[in-house]
Structure 1
């Protein structure tokens, strides 16, 4: 078991350049109650409340010598302020390597094919499965461990070692998300994956009017495809398939605005609102018109590249679901090659275009 890390605010665990930040928001140091899987809302405000994620986005502040972990920030070596208990969670795979290395070894073993070769397309699922198995959700266990670390009286802002929670095999959403996130960071550093990792969090109201906080991992692949890994909710899902009306809303504010624009009548996308008497051909014609309006400012080469990117991206997802690792890697490479050639103007509309593309494919399959 790793050495317990129990330090009070003002100490720095031997870290250099100690800088105790001021003005930490109340929702960080005295946050809303922690979200639990059993309390997952069936219906809620689609907007979500992202203020306490955005507070730490790219701030670069430090707490007791360590950078704060926030949206799109590095995880390893940082410190994360949790919900409910108000602990400051230290994530450091170099200083406390043992527990992390055990998990990494298991993930890589699960990601091998029959010839013993590590298959990149298996990494995310192996990481999700390993952490789900090794780190059970337990609010009671977390409370007990925090009480132990605090000598029976845990104070907000006390630094705790994430490795302690791995060793105990327990955590809640924030601990599980941090473990998944830092493991994916390490796997990228070692060359096994190429995407970007972020620990995201938000809060939203459940049907009872209670405010709940939650944390998860957002992985953006080299092709731009976003995958959500939420151990607490036992959910691994592509962002494009997320329905904010079901379960937790994983969309970032800018993505929520995009979705709202798409659903505001049929001004942008007519995929869901069609006249009952419309034939399949008429629906396809409507989608084709939307596509033409959306892409009229693009040249033929950019249109072709966008089609190539989305087509190969969907083929990759199908191959992943069917366990065809080699095909998944091949389609991922093709999608990535096309994505990197998209212009700035094309990138602005690619996600809307993808929804239209998917709708057209669905109609053609009927």
Structure 2
């Protein structure tokens, strides 16, 4: 699918435009409710195809951040604290690992990529220390997903995104606990809370189309 077509669908649906296309260059596409580790994430426009895979040559940079997060999680559990205490700490860890910078991110893309939609590891951005919402969301979701697989956390995690006219596109993490409670973790805008909180202090509209209040 051409980049322009993907962007058009993204603007119309507010969801991942490639949800019906399951693979990109041999990797499972990362979209809402899909697995994170081992997959590839495409942006709404022509940009890098970000691979999340902690089994490749740059696995140590992934695991270093993950170990930092799990050390914090283990300590909180020992202190009988819950995920409401962990998520703000995770937000801090990810923001240290991937400092927010549009300019630095563009420099990285130009330096490493020569064409449209080339695959590039999220580890490259971790090595450089910079990213934007899509990179920060992927790292946050990767950490949570790995903790779920290791039974440190119970629930489901997803990288969600949408487009708001006049503001542009944005990516964030959505965590659903075993009771069905949904928590938005927006590492970039530093928001942790409910999907319906946008009229209070929520800096974005995080609702999925089926959740929009009539």
* TM-score bracket relative to the smaller structure: 0.7 to 0.9
Q: Tell me, in whole angstroms, the C-alpha distance in 2 between the residues paired with 1:116 and 1:222.
A: 21
**Measured at CA, do residues 119 and 188 of structure 1 come closer, stay the same or move farther in structure 2, by a change above 3 Å?**
farther
**Measured at CA, do residues 123 and 245 of structure 1 come closer, stay the same or move farther in structure 2, by a change above 3 Å?**
closer
Offset, 1:113: 3.7
Alignment of 1:290-309 (within 5 A): none
Offset, 1:240: 4.2
Offset, 1:120: 4.8
What residue is the counterpart of 2:195 in the other structure? 239
- Asked whether the equivalents of residues 244 and 250 of structure 1 are also in contact (C-alpha less than 8 Å), the reply is no
Larger helix proportion of the pair: 1
What residue is the counterpart of 1:191 in the other structure? 151
- Asked whether the equivalents of residues 191 and 202 of structure 2 are also in contact (C-alpha less than 8 Å), the reply is no
Q: Tell me, in whole angstroms, the C-alpha distance in 2 between the residues paired with 1:80 and 1:229.
A: 18
Offset, 1:123: 3.4
Offset, 1:124: 2.5
What's the TM-score once normalised by structure 1's chain length? 0.53
**For 1:126, which of 70, 89, 111 is the aligned residue?**
89
What's the TM-score once normalised by structure 2's chain length? 0.87
* 2:54 is the counterpart of 1:93: yes
**For 2:180, which of 208, 221, 224 is the aligned residue?**
224
- Asked whether the equivalents of residues 61 and 68 of structure 1 are also in contact (C-alpha less than 8 Å), the reply is yes
What residue is the counterpart of 1:135 in the other structure? 98
- Asked whether the equivalents of residues 201 and 214 of structure 1 are also in contact (C-alpha less than 8 Å), the reply is yes
- Asked whether the equivalents of residues 182 and 194 of structure 2 are also in contact (C-alpha less than 8 Å), the reply is yes
Q: Which ranges in structure 2 are unaligned for 5 or more consecutive residues?
A: none
Alignment of 1:221-300 (within 5 A): 221-243=177-199, 247-256=203-212, 259-260=213-214
CA RMSD in angstroms, aligned pairs only: 2.6
**Measured at CA, do residues 103 and 246 of structure 1 come closer, stay the same or move farther in structure 2, by a change above 3 Å?**
closer
Q: How many aligned residue pairs are there? A: 211
* 2:43 is the counterpart of 1:82: yes
Offset, 1:186: 0.4
Q: Tell me, in whole angstroms, the C-alpha distance in 2 between the residues paired with 1:143 and 1:124.
A: 28
* 2:124 is the counterpart of 1:164: yes
Instruction: Write out per-residue CA displacement over residues 46-97 of structure 1, whole angstroms, 9 at most, x where no aligned residue.
Output: xx9562624333x362111101111111111111112455111111012232
Structure having the higher Rg: 1
Larger strand proportion of the pair: 2
Instruction: Write out per-residue CA displacement over residues 19-72 of structure 1, whole angstroms, 9 at most, x where no aligned residue.
Output: xxxx255254xx49xxxxxxxxxxxxxxx9562624333x36211110111111
Q: Tell me, in whole angstroms, the C-alpha distance in 2 between the residues paired with 1:124 and 1:253.
A: 25
Q: Tell me, in whole angstroms, the C-alpha distance in 1 between the residues paired with 2:141 and 2:119.
A: 19
* 2:213 is the counterpart of 1:213: no
Q: Which ranges in structure 1 are unaligned for 5 or more consecutive residues?
A: 1-22, 33-47, 261-366
**For 1:178, which of 121, 138, 144 is the aligned residue?**
138
**For 2:4, which of 16, 22, 26 is the aligned residue?**
26
Q: Tell me, in whole angstroms, the C-alpha distance in 2 between the residues paired with 1:100 and 1:239.
A: 28
